Amino acid sequence: MKYVALMMTILVGPAALLAAEQPRDQPNVLFIAIDDLNDWVGCLGGHEQVRTPHIDRLAERGVLFSNAHCQAPICQPSRTSLLTGTFPHRNGVYTVEQRWRKAPLVQDAVTLPQYFREHGYRTMGAGKIFHREDQLEPAWDEWGVRYGWNWMGERVGPDGISGLPTPSIFDFGPFPAKPEEMNDMRVTDWVVSRLDKSYDKPFFLAVGLITPHLPLFTPPEFYEQYPLDTTRLPVTLPGDLDDLPAMGRKFTRYFDTTPMSHHNITRNGLWHKAVASYLACATFTDHCVGRLLDALDDSPHAKNTIIVLWSDHGFHLGEKMHWEKRSLWEESTRVPLIFSLPGFKKGSDTVVRSTPGAVPATVPDPFLNPHRHARCTRPVGLIDIYPTLIELCDLPEKESLQGRSLSPLLQDPTREWDYPALTTHHPGNHAVRSEHWRYIRYANGDEELYDHRIDPHEFHNLAQDPQHADMIRQLAEWIPDNDAPYGPQEPRHQYTQEFDWSRP
């Protein structure tokens, strides 16, 4: 089995080899999806003040892909890409105003959980996995719960709690509720109850945590961890937009006529409060992740469950005078991605493996060297999750998948990897992220280029510098020649704006 082969490459010592020679059941999968979480996570270093001890704990017991990127910087197309294993420019799903099952190029696609179900897994899910209508997908043996925000709006009223005039969904601050009332805690409770059960076949258990999606509400005890007078704003540069091409500058104007515009937030003196609210949301979500990890560790499935944690895209909080997502810069595309394979016991550097017909053996934790607390800096995408999981779980290869299995990087996070990550926002607008460079080309031909070795905040656009022409040519080879047309679109959502993404 492929999974056994992978584990044999990292287990060491005679006892470990004896254990690895024996057949083992296919592993379970705990699939943790988070909405709108950028790199403001302790192990990624996106904000020095953020407190995410449980996500950091997961990173310590697995492989952290520190250069992971979404394939679209907005919920619907990002999740469609991940769950169908297809790129936006190949499936025609670019906006939230689409129902992906109506897109001709993927309407019959077999999604990731559906594929597991068709190959003998018990599939269970709760929260936000698909962008909408999760429970209607032919992917689940058991669907749990998913809650909306209506009750939160009813509790705070139309004036909100941020202090922004007419904030609508663009609201933030301490929310008058107990932690157990929050949507994600109730979803977490449901998943925890499933981890405590036994099953007659391996399971794929998906949990979708919505926070820190807007509104940025958390119970007061989380918000109070980030006092406004000490909360640090993200690093910005005066005049950062000056060297952007016309299309780049236009991307920053998406929210200009809404409460979430940079001008509106700063003129109302609310930048620190918005940042503190986002940090609090990250910490609240981390608390939910901690409950999931503890429940798994205390369950009968602890030694045979793969964990994968990911976020669907990043989030701006004023960088480049931009807010939320919908850009092709690092803040929108970089996401947490962690894989943890079975074999870690909480509080111990060894695991006890019992093999039928053999004496139970205590063997080194396979993640100690190098797979425990390993960091991989190679560029990867969320589109790579689907092929990776089916290989790790020894399911048949699926040829239609457009991503690549990350198993080679799980075996050796430092190995050569010649594939950049590609992100698309509407037809013709693409970003290519290599290990050290970001190249952006817009639908009208405008370009940006950033060297992350010396410019991690992407302050200095090098696209017009002739000495980088060769680098641009190399990265431009990964830009698609053609983009699929939009799939059927529905009327504009109440929280989205009229905007032309094809020209300045």
75 is catalytic: yes
**Gap between the Cα atoms of 438 and 478, Å rounded:** 12
Indicate which residue of 43, 75, 288, 376 is catalytic: 75
**Gap between the Cα atoms of 154 and 102, Å rounded:** 33
List, in order, residues 6 or more apart from 57 with CB less than 8 Å away: 290, 293
Instruction: Report which residue type is found at 44.
Output: L
**Gap between the Cα atoms of 194 and 335, Å rounded:** 27
Distance of CA 273 to the CA centre of its chain: 24
119 is catalytic: no
**Gap between the Cα atoms of 326 and 75, Å rounded:** 10
Tokens of 291: 């409950």
Distance of CA 303 to the CA centre of its chain: 25
Indicate which residue of 89, 131, 316, 371 is catalytic: 131
DSSP-assigned letters across all residues of 445-497: S-EEEEETTT-TT-----TT-GGGHHHHHHHHTTS-S--PPP---PSPPTT--
Neighbours of 22 (CB within 10 A): 13
CB 3 within 8 A of CB 16: no
DSSP-derived 3-state class of residue 126: strand
In the DSSP assignment, the letter for residue 9 is T
Neighbours of 486 (CB within 10 A): 15
The shares of helix, strand and coil residues in the chain, as percent rounded to the nearest 5, are 30, 15, 50
CB 20 within 8 A of CB 410: no
Closest CA to 342 of 379, 317, 314, 367: 367
Tokens of 232: 């640090």
Q: Read off φ and ψ for residue 140, nearest 5 degrees.
A: -120, 135
CB 401 within 8 A of CB 110: no
Active site residues: 75, 131
